[in-house]
Amino acid sequence: MHPIAIIGGTGLTRLSNLEIVRREMVPTPFGEPSGPVIHGRLCDREVMFLARHGYGHTIPPHKVNYRANIWALREIGVRRIVAVAAVGGIRADMAPGHLAIPDQIVDYTYCRDSTFHEGEIGGVVHIDFTEPYDADLRASLLAAGERADIDLRRDGTYAATQGPRLETAAEIDRLERDGCDVVGMTGMPEAALAREVGVPYACCAVVANWAAGRGPGSITMEDIDRHLTKGMDRVAKLLMSWLEHDAGD
């Protein structure tokens, strides 16, 4: 069976029944990844974990070496990637603590290394990005959510913003007019890079807060941490259900 990878926070490596086998720092032509890849076994599956922001959460979203992260996972044989990401809820049903499996993305980031194909080697490459997330992988995650009785939002457009600051209320109004349902800072270029190397990729978005102007008062890190804790419990339940039944070969 081909190994799968989960990109997310350090808390994912504390999943119950996870056996950590080893840690591996994978060199890439694009520099060092965010940290070592953790090799483990969970639900009798080979699973890789990579902390997007480093294992001390020290790398801000605009400084993540997305190219090195995706290249390293592909290099060690990963054939499916589930990206767990904290987001703000824009749509009325995207309340803090809920999970969503988005089906579209709008990229508002800038000055990020966003392709493996710079033109010097191999020429210019254009990928089809009509559907940015792998349909089969999304379907298997949604089915796992149903089995585990998790109230998943089954679609949504992810707005990828630059960060690290949160958005203004006016910016969120603009994102809503553009058709966006959740907002985060790490969705791009991660999704596009996975498509470039041919690795199926899907996102599990954890709503950590109401986006600016959508909730009462200001956004605090205390509230974000509280909702993330609740949401990550649901992520763990979802991943266990997925690995037990639908992770595929």
Work out the mean pLDDT of the chain and round it to a whole number.
Answer: 91
Secondary structure (3-state) at 116: coil
Tell me which fold the domain 4-245 belongs to.
Rossmann fold (3.40.50)
pLDDT of residue 212: 95
pLDDT tens track for 89-148: 999 999 999 999 999 999 999 999 999 988 766 678 899 999 999 999 999 999 999 999
pLDDT of residue 50: 95
pLDDT of residue 13: 63
Residue 71 has pLDDT above 80, yes or no: yes
- Please name which of 139, 117, 151 lies closest in space to residue 202, comparing C-alpha atoms: 139
**How deeply is 245 buried, as exposed, middle or buried, from its count of CB atoms within 10 A (0-12, 13-18, 19+)?**
middle
pTM over 0.95: no
Mean pLDDT of 223-249: 83
Distance CA 38, CA 49 (A): 5
Going from N- to C-terminal start, the domains of the chain cover 4-245
In the structure encoding, which two tokens stand for residue 65, read together? 């070496």
Residue 10 has pLDDT above 60, yes or no: no
Distance CA 60, CA 43 (A): 32
In the structure encoding, which two tokens stand for residue 71, read together? 């290249």
Mean pLDDT of 6-24: 79
Position with higher pLDDT, 159 vs 13: 159
Angle at 159 between CA 226 and CA 26, to 5 degrees: 80
pLDDT of residue 120: 64
